[in-house]
Amino acid sequence: MTYGEIVRHKEILEYYERGSMILDALGYTDHSIAHTKLVAERAADILNAFGYGQDLIELAKMAGFMHDIGNAINRHHHAEYGALLANEILKETDLDLQDRVHIVSAIANHDESHGVAADPVTAALIIADKTDVRRSRVRAKDPILFDVHDRVNYAVTATRLKCSPEEKRITLYLTIDESICTMYEYFDIFLARMTMCSHAARILDAQFSLKVNGQKVL
């Protein structure tokens, strides 16, 4: 089983189709394949930048693409549900036991409510997922319908994640339109996620920084 096969897997794609319908009904921001592909590639870029081998990079891409399939069951505890679904799917492949458990564990621990980074694959997945903040994740078209999550994402007009292995630092750069979302609203929503990124970065022997509108805030 490879990442290329994972992104074409019919059962995984069906879970995302169903999960997208549920989150749309709940009014959540985008958690579709566009998000999971971005997370997969970003997790791979993080590990590659810090010198990890292709074996772990491939596992991170697979975990990144599958990490949100649990939304098809329920948004609450979606990480745990996703891990169980992923385990059943991967059992039917030629993936060896250790790699399967590695992927399942990363998926189960990617959410800030109950998860924790204990290895590089999980750390890269967490950072890749939690730093996907962008205007195009907003589903609602009418600003009148925006909730605080929508406003926070819609206010982000530019985003960039930079890995600096020589400085042992991972930095998220955001440009925020403060007429749409105040800095208080941003941190009210994202503080737990940014804290989780800071812990995850330490697993990679790095520090996590956040710069908003040119100012370092974390």
pLDDT number for residue 57: 98
34 and 40 Cβ atoms separated by less than 8 Å: no
Percent of the chain with pLDDT over 70: 100
pLDDT number for residue 39: 98
What is the distance between the terminal CA atoms of the chain, rounded to a whole angstrom? 39
* pLDDT of 19 above 80: yes
Q: Where does the pLDDT of residue 206 fall: very low under 50, low under 70, confident under 90, or very high at 90 and above? A: very high
pLDDT tens for residues 59-108?
999 999 999 999 999 999 999 999 999 999 999 999 999 999 999 999 99
Mean pLDDT value across the chain? 94
Q: Where does the pLDDT of residue 143 fall: very low under 50, low under 70, confident under 90, or very high at 90 and above? A: confident
**Is the alpha carbon torsion for 209, 211, 212, 216 positive or negative?**
positive
pLDDT number for residue 148: 80
pLDDT tens for residues 114-139?
999 999 999 999 999 999 999 999 98
User: Rounded to an integer, what distance in angstroms lies between the CA atom of residue 55 and that of residue 191?
Assistant: 32
User: Rounded to an integer, what distance in angstroms lies between the CA atom of residue 11 and that of residue 2?
Assistant: 15
Class of domain 3-216: mainly alpha
What average pLDDT score do residues 165-179 get?
Answer: 96
Q: Where does the pLDDT of residue 28 fall: very low under 50, low under 70, confident under 90, or very high at 90 and above? A: confident
Alpha helices in 27-182 (DSSP H): 33-49, 54-66, 78-91, 97-108, 120-130, 148-154
Whole-number Cα distances in Å, 35 to 8, 87, 180 = 15, 21, 23
Q: Where does the pLDDT of residue 7 fall: very low under 50, low under 70, confident under 90, or very high at 90 and above? A: very high
Domain boundaries, the chain: 3-216
